[in-house]
Amino acid sequence: MEQSMLKKLNIKIFIILIGLGFPIKGFALLNPSLLDTSLLNNLETPVQEWPLSRLQQAIKVLVPKEAQVQYGGSIGFLSVGFGYPLWEEKGNLSLHAGFVPETKGGAFTVLAVKFAYQPYLIKLGNHLEWKPFNPVFFPSYTLGSHYSYRFSTNQYRANYYFWSTALRLHIGANSEFKIKFKGRHSIHNNHSAISLFTEANTNDLYLISWVKNREVAPITNLFKLGFGIKAHF
């Protein structure tokens, strides 16, 4: 009687763990000999290929690996964002939302999707890395009552102005110092780090204006500077 009850209990636990997506091979029973192993043989699809496991993998990929706060840099007076390292940290993709308060010329919000290529890595010890020159490209879109994708045809004839007041295309470069937290006295895991960075960028409209007025406009007027801090986890 006791053996039969334990067998039923193990089978129930087995079924519950399958429903939760637990790997079968890692399932440790109180008494494995009491489980009818024919259940395993009837499973044609490995657990890791079940829809639930695929969903878990998709969620893991979508969870951001970085979060950052930035001051200036063409995406608002202050902005926040999250990102993902690419190609073994040779690239980076990040999404940003920035705002400009009314006291600074706003109020409006800026959205941006930024891509950075990070080809160079200089190790300055066990805990410090420097990526000296990282080309950056990103489009930004400004939300606000005074900004739109196209000029109103009620005020201007079609294509009178070729640019958009809301959409800008930016190019630039940044430089980043990363401080890694490692060692037994650290409260962080081996993947935790903090980066300090600075960035200079310009946009399509600034470039066109400078080309047309380069004799009187210094090239330094082209660029906007930004500074920020990034957390890696």
- Residue 222 to residue 204: CA distance in whole angstroms: 10
- 67, with CB counted inside 10 A (0-12, 13-18, 19+), is middle
Structural domain boundaries, residue 47: 2-57
By CB neighbour count within 10 A (0-12 exposed, 13-18 middle, 19+ buried), where does 20 fall?
exposed
Q: pTM higher than 0.85 for the full model?
A: no
58-82, pLDDT tens digit by residue? 888 889 999 999 999 999 999 999 9
**Number of domains, the chain:** 2
Same domain membership, residue 51 and residue 84: no
The reply to whether 84 and 107 lie within a common domain is yes
Q: Which residues pair with 100 in a beta bridge?
A: 108
Are residues 147 and 51 located together in one domain of the fold?
Answer: no
> Are residues 40 and 138 located together in one domain of the fold?
no
* End position of a domain, from candidates 57, 75, 100: 57
Q: What pLDDT digit, counting tens, does each position of 5-51 carry?
A: 555 555 555 555 555 555 544 444 444 454 455 545 554 445 444 56
106 and 184 both lie in a single domain: yes
Rounded to whole angstroms, the Cα distance separating 210 from 87 reads: 35
**Same domain, yes or no, for 124 and 211?**
yes
